[in-house]
Amino acid sequence: MRREPKPVPPVSHNGIRYEAPHWRAGLPLDPGEDALELAEEARMQATMVNALAQGGAVDLSPEWIQSTLLDAGHDPELVEKTVGKMVVHRKLQEALMTLATSVTQTASYGEESRSDRSPLGYATEDRLRPLLEKNGLTPKQIQTALSFLHRQKIQMLPEGERPSPQDGGYVVAFKESSQEPLWCVQVYETEYSSGFEKDDQEVFITHLAVEENTLRVTDESERTHIICLKTREVKRLPA
């Protein structure tokens, strides 16, 4: 499996910053999932890392995280949505630990539980749902938790069985003054050859440059694409 690509330095022009985030290493985009929101979530994670690096008394409560993100100027609606996901994820981890403890003490789920080092191996929907309900999650939150569980299981798959990362050459535009995400464009799609690991064939963006009213995008294959910043149309330049 290839290494994680190096971060791409963002570029700014006329009050707008352009980034090429690698936010989904090892996981595909789910149907209906918004790439723009994923990019903003990645930026919020960076805000939290910076806040924690500054030290001080940190309780990591949802209230503290929400306050920190809002103070940093992130979109209130996306902050609320992200903090909500975080709460669901914590409840899921609590349920997984409860399930793991139960299996260890009683060995009630058969040989599969004793041979699996991770609670993900025996964390089925039927076994988890009662624990999630007990943890106070609503039916909608439970569906979100089960979606998180599916992603965690994908990450546990052996190399060659995981879905390939969905980098796909995305470029995201943010308003510099407010950090508001404006739009997201997929510059190119990666084509895979049969007989080779998809992970080893991933092609990531390596460089961004603003030229008049266009954004020049270079990738690891040394291809160059041009995005018109007015129409967002993408054209590939000849080699």
**Looking at the domain assignment, is residue 91 inside a domain?**
yes
- In this structure, the number of other CB atoms found within 10 A of the CB of residue 83 comes to 18
Measured CA to CA in angstroms, residue 183 lies from 41, 103, 193 at distances of: 14, 47, 31
**Looking at the domain assignment, is residue 58 inside a domain?**
yes
Q: Strand locations in the chain, DSSP E?
A: 11-13, 16-19, 170-175, 180-186, 205-211, 214-219, 224-228, 234-236
Half-sphere exposure of 149 (CA within 13 A, CB side): 27
**Looking at the domain assignment, is residue 9 inside a domain?**
no
**Looking at the domain assignment, is residue 217 inside a domain?**
no
Residue 97 falls in which region: left (phi positive, over 0), alpha (psi -120 to 50) or beta: alpha
Q: Which pair of structure tokens corresponds to residue 20?
A: 């090429």
DSSP string, 117-168: SSGGGG--HHHHHHHHHHTT--HHHHHHHHHHHHHHHHHHSPTTTSPPP--T
Q: Return all residues near 32 (Cβ < 8 A) that are at least 6 apart.
A: none
**Looking at the domain assignment, is residue 92 inside a domain?**
yes
- 102, 108 contact by CB (below 8 A): yes
Tell me the pTM: 0.51
Structural domains of the chain, count: 1
Can you give the pLDDT of all 239 residues of the chain as single tens digits?
Answer: 556 667 788 899 999 989 887 655 444 445 455 667 777 777 888 888 888 877 665 667 888 889 989 998 888 988 998 888 888 888 888 888 887 776 655 544 444 443 344 555 567 778 888 999 998 999 989 988 887 776 666 455 455 444 444 455 788 888 887 667 788 888 988 777 777 766 667 788 999 999 989 999 999 889 999 999 999 999 999 97
**Looking at the domain assignment, is residue 62 inside a domain?**
yes
For 46, the domain range is 28-156
Q: What pLDDT digit, counting tens, does each position of 49-90 carry?
A: 888 877 665 667 888 889 989 998 888 988 998 888 888 888
**pLDDT at residue 20, as a whole number:** 84
Beta bridge partners of 228: 214
Q: Which pair of structure tokens corresponds to residue 93?
A: 């981890």
Measured CA to CA in angstroms, residue 129 lies from 3, 117, 120, 138, 203 at distances of: 36, 21, 14, 11, 39
**Looking at the domain assignment, is residue 133 inside a domain?**
yes
**Looking at the domain assignment, is residue 49 inside a domain?**
yes
